[in-house]
Each structure stands twice: as C-alpha cells, then as structure tokens.
Amino acid sequence: MAQISEFLPQWTSPPGHTIADVLSARRLSRAEFARMLDELPGFVDALLEGREAITLGLARRLQSTVGGSVEFWMTRDRQYRDDVMRLREMGLPWLLEFPLEDMSRLGWIPADPPEGFEVEMLLRYFAVPSVPVWRARYASVLQAAFFRTSPTFKSSAGATAAWLRQGEIKAGSIECGAWNPEALRHALVQLRALTRVRDPERFIPRLRAAAAECGVAVVVLQAPSGCRASGAIRWLADDKALVLLSARHLTDDHFWFTFYHECAHLLLHQQTRIFLDEDEDSTSAVENEANVFAAETLVPPQFCDAVAHVRLETFAVVRLATEMDISPGILVAQLQRMNRLPQNHLNRLKRGYRWLNGQLLSRESA
C-alpha cells in the first residue's frame, strides 16, 4: 500500500484571510470590526495581514464576534506560523537574490518586518503565493527580456525583477486611454520641445499625461543596487503599456534617448511583450531599429545637414538645438554618437539630475 505523504503547501494563508471573508460576507468594515474587538484599526490591519498572533484571549473574542471555536482559531494561527517558518527556511537562499536594504530605503517593502516573515513579505510584494511560482513567473519575464549587457557590470535578476514589479505597481495608479500607436507617434514629435524643460518636476507630469492619452503609463523609478536597467517596456494589457525609466546616467540626453528608444519598441516590436534595456552597445537588429527611431525622432532628417556641419563650439550648438527645439544636451550626445565630437567635449551642455527620496530632481535644485 502506497504511503500518503504529508501535504506541505508552498504558500501561506494567515487566519486574517478567513476573518476577512467573514467580514465581507457580513458587509462589515475593518473599522466596525475594530470596534467589535475594542481595538485600534492598526491592530485589525496587523491581524488580517498575519502580523498579529492570535492569543487565547483573542481567540475567545474572535469566537464571540466572527464565529468559529477557540480551538479553530488557535490551530489556524499555529499552522500559519509553522508554514511561515518552514517557507522561510526554504526561501532563505532566495532572499539573498534581492537588495532588501535598497528596497526598504525606497519604500517598496516594510523596513522592519517581523522576524521570520521576510519571505512572506516578498511574496506579497510580488503578488505570488510561493517561491516556485515566483521563479516560474519572473524567470520567463527576464528570459523574454532583451538584455543589453555590459562586460563590466553584472545585473541581478532579483533586483531587476523588483524594479519591474514596482514599476507595475506604480503604473496601476496611472489612468490611461486605450493604446493608440498613431497618437503616440504624433505625441513623440510634440514632446521634443519638452526636452528643453530643465526641471524633472515640471516635465515628468507633462510627459506622463501626454503618454497616458496614448495608452502608455510612464513611470520614472530609481533602480536599486544590482539593477542596471536604463529602461523597460511591458504590456500590462492589450490596450495599456508600461514605459519604465531609471534615469541611470542622470543626464537629460540619456533620459530622453531612453524614453524614445522604449517607445520605439512599443511601435515597432509590439509582438514582443517585454523589453529590458541595460546598455547602449547592443548590436541586435531590434535594438538598432529602436536606436535609429529614437535618433531620427529627436533629430529629424531635415536637420541632418546642419548637424553634420555645425561648428563644434558652445554658441553654435546651443543655437542649432534651439532651432531644432530640443535640449542642447541631446544634440551634444548625437554629435558624439556621430563621432563628430569627442566623448569628453561640451558635456557641460548636458543637464544633470539627482535622486532625492525616490524623486528625480534637477541637479541644480536646492
């Protein structure tokens, strides 16, 4: 006779899930439930999320308020905590894949999770029930991405997945119209003038609003250590796309070129659901196509002769950039790509940015 093995789930379900189901069935709010328990709302939040253990006294109050026996609630809580500790032991190597300190500093995860609940915390962050499910879901995401790798720095899959996930979360709060590629092509031409705005606090809201009308959620998000991505796109639905930007090089030329490069993927390579761009040295056909699209949209062909013959000094470059309605930094970068200008010349015309508390700011701002 075959021996029946013990069922050990690869997920956790706190007693709070059961309580929440009862509250929903009875149409009771958390505030009402807190008053029934004679507790503060924060206590109820912790209880429903599994951060508050069920004591004998609490089990008795649950019996009288939501039903179920004292034994049921005590057993339910003990099983949950046993599962958490078991999964934590299984997941400890997985935790090492993530820049937890950076994720906490950036506000993506709690700063001080209860001891033993780190794995549970990350599973909730990624909205997956178990580490195997995470590996299945995000391994396919990262394998499907088009990496532009560097021989000098190695990316961390965990850090990159965490950045992508936070981008998805931020994009969820951005209301967008339906995907409209023709509207996006038109908007990209109009947005060239926005590159002349110095302060990210001024141009990012306008960029986000213009893109949202075309079905694109633009998220500018600082990357944690281990994530070298400059930009990424991901289709969140058939009619909504995410453009995620890290402003990794902290200059306006790189920021805007990356934005136009990612939009090129949306317009030219829509059949691919995910692109992740890490370096500018890729020679793949799709990356070259995106680079050409970005360069020709930012510097239209009618200006090619002027760019090819402009005097390589500050006044002439600034005057031509004004005529083209783009920032001088973008023109400097284009001249450098054409090898007309050495990489260390006129870089003072590129506007610098900095990160402060997760917000991209002008380097000159106080």
Q: Is the pLDDT confidence value at 64 over 70?
A: yes
Range 207-222 average pLDDT? 98
Domains, the chain, in order of start with CATH, read 10-93 (1.10.260.40), 138-362 (no CATH)
Radius of gyration of the chain (CA): 26
Q: Minimum mean pLDDT among 59-73, 127-141, 178-192, 241-255: which range?
A: 127-141
pLDDT of residue 326: 95
pLDDT of residue 33: 92
- Residue at 354: amino acid letter: R
Q: Is the pLDDT confidence value at 80 over 90?
A: no
Range 178-200 average pLDDT? 96
Treating both helix axes as pointing N-terminal to C-terminal, what angle do 200-212 and 181-190 enclose, rounded to 10 degrees? 150
Helices (H), 1-40: 15-26, 30-37
* pLDDT tens, residue by residue, 243-297: 999 999 999 999 999 999 999 999 998 877 777 776 555 567 888 899 999 999 9
Q: Is the pLDDT confidence value at 205 over 80?
A: yes
pLDDT of residue 118: 81
Q: Token pair of 350, please?
A: 């590129």
pLDDT band at 366 (very low <50, low <70, confident <90, very high): low
Q: Is the pLDDT confidence value at 143 over 90?
A: no
- Return d(Cα 330, Cα 147) in angstroms, integer: 24
pLDDT of residue 2: 46
Computed over every residue of the chain, the mean pLDDT equals 87
Range 49-75 average pLDDT? 91
Residues 6+ apart with CB under 8 A from 238: 179
Q: Minimum mean pLDDT among 104-108, 112-116, 328-332: which range?
A: 112-116
The per-residue DSSP string of 191-212 comes to GGGGGG---HHHHHHHHHHHHH
Q: Is the pLDDT confidence value at 110 over 80?
A: yes
The per-residue DSSP string of 262-325 comes to HHHHHHH-TTS-EEEE--S----HHHHHHHHHHHHHHS-GGGHHHHHH--SSHHHHHHHHHHHT
Sign for the CA dihedral angle at 127, 99, 107, 169 comes to negative
Q: Is the pLDDT confidence value at 7 over 50?
A: no
pLDDT of residue 82: 80
pTM for this entry: 0.76
- Residue at 171: amino acid letter: A
Range 23-51 average pLDDT? 90
pLDDT of residue 276: 76
